[in-house]
Structure formats: structure tokens, C-alpha cells
């Protein structure tokens, strides 16, 4: 157990819909990262937050947005969903800026 | 921007064999890390390397931070079925006021009992 909690674990929705994925970081971790992993693909970096502020942005689509709240949990919002958005979405947190990330178990999104 | 070239992309080996995979880049990194992702799980950190030339072991796993700071390798000795999964290298470099983490595309390991 990494200490990072992601909900929901599985989500099935239709094209055009909007979903919100939630992440609770490890206790004490200020930094949260979001990654997308499509079938048999690597980890695509989406966005990073540190103590409520956006710190870095990767290949995140304009239809996607995220935020980190004062209690440090984070949400990833995916809108106008397309079939190609079907993927595993991982959240990771860290206390130090050393690259040592702790990943959640992921949220598997299926868009039909 | 920085990129990591991880190879091989996949490996099919017999139980008991040794495994070697590596990551290279044209850029310098301050830290190299190796993660393993079990099927259906999130990646888990295996080894972190902080100094050029550093050689670190974690059980049957051994990883090295290349002298040029542009590469790293991971060896697994005497593989067992539970070694199955995807292994990711990651490199951390500092740009501006913060660290930036880059992941390789992964090496998918299959072990035949």
C-alpha cells in the first residue's frame, strides 16, 4: 500500500461525457502528479501540483483540467470524452523533489 | 526536450535467467530511478541512484548510474515468475527552480516458468 488513494477504481462512461477522478496523496506529501497510461503504453505526464499551485504541465489536453485543494487532495477533470481517452489514470505523490514518487493504484476509465 | 531511450521494449526469458535493461539519453540527469509496474497496479520504486558511477543493489536487482550521467542500467539476477511486469526508468533533471522527471517507455518482462 503506497498510501496514495485514487477513486473511482473503474469508471465506464459514454463519449461526450465528463468525469472527475480523485486522488488523496500520502500524508505529508505536498506534490501531486497525474499520469495517463493507455494500453501497453508508457506513462504520459499530464500535470503536477505543489501545495495547491500548478507546478508543471505535460501533454495535457485542453479538455482536461486539474486542481489541488487546500487539504492537498487533487482532482482530474476530463470533459467531452472521446474513445481515445480510455486509459489508466495514475496519481502519484511525493514529499521531496527527488523523483521518488508513490503511485496510487490508478483509475481505469473506459469510454464507450 | 529531454528524452529517455529505454531498451529492450520487451523481453521473454526463462526462469532462472539473468536480465539486463538500460536507459540512455543525450541529456544529463541528476538522479536515475527504476520503477516496476505489476499487472493492474501502479508503478513502485525499486532503486534510486543519486551519484554518477553509483552502483546500488536491492536483493536480486542491481542498478548503476552511468559515469557520463546520461545512462543507467538495471540487472535482475536469477529471474523468477514474480519478476513479470513493466520496468520503467526515470531521470530527474533540474531546470530553473525545480526538478523535472522524465520516464522511459518501459521494458515489458515476461518470465516462463
Tell me the pLDDT tens digit for each residue of B3-55. Answer: 899 999 999 999 999 999 999 999 999 999 999 999 889 999 999 999 999 99
Per the CB < 8 Å rule, is A101 touching B45?
Answer: yes
Residues in chain A with pLDDT values less than 50: none
| CA–CA min distance A12, chain B (Å) | 17
Q: Which of residues 14-53 of A touch B (CB under 8 A)?
A: 33, 40-43, 45, 50
Cα torsion A103, A36, B69, B35: sign: positive
**What confidence score (pLDDT) does residue B1 get?**
65
**What confidence score (pLDDT) does residue B97 get?**
65
What residue has cell string 526536450?
B1
Within 10 A of B30 (CB to CB), how many other CB atoms are there? 17
Per the CB < 8 Å rule, is B33 touching A99?
Answer: yes
Within 10 A of A9 (CB to CB), how many other CB atoms are there? 10
What residue has cell string 473503474?
A10
Amino acid at each position: 500500500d503506497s498510501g496514495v488513494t485514487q477513486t473511482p477504481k473503474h469508471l465506464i462512461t459514454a463519449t461526450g461525457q465528463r468525469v472527475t477522478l480523485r486522488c488523496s496523496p500520502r500524508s505529508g506529501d505536498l506534490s501531486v502528479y497525474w499520469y495517463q497510461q493507455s494500453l501497453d503504453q508508457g506513462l504520459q505526464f499530464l500535470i503536477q501540483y505543489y501545495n495547491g499551485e500548478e507546478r508543471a504541465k505535460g501533454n495535457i489536453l485542453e479538455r482536461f483540467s486539474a486542481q489541488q485543494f487546500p487539504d492537498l487532495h487533487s482532482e482530474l477533470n476530463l470533459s467531452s470524452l472521446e474513445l481515445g481517452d480510455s486509459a489508466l489514470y495514475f496519481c502519484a505523490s511525493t514529499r521531496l523533489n527527488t523523483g521518488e514518487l508513490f503511485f496510487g493504484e490508478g483509475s481505469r476509465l473506459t469510454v464507450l | 526536450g529531454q528524452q529517455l531511450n529505454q531498451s529492450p521494449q520487451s523481453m521473454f526469458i526463462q526462469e532462472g535467467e539473468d536480465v539486463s535493461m538500460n536507459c540512455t539519453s543525450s541529456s544529463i540527469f541528476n538522479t536515475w530511478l527504476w520503477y516496476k509496474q505489476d499487472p493492474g497496479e501502479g508503478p513502485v520504486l525499486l532503486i534510486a541512484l543519486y551519484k554518477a558511477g553509483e552502483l546500488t543493489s536491492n536483493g536480486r536487482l542491481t542498478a548503476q548510474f552511468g559515469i557520463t550521467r546520461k545512462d543507467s542500467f538495471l540487472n535482475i539476477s536469477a529471474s523468477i515468475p514474480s519478476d513479470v511486469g513493466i520496468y520503467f526508468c526515470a531521470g530527474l533533471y533540474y531546470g530553473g527552480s525545480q526538478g523535472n522527471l522524465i520516464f522511459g517507455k518501459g521494458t515489458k518482462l515476461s518470465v516462463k516458468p
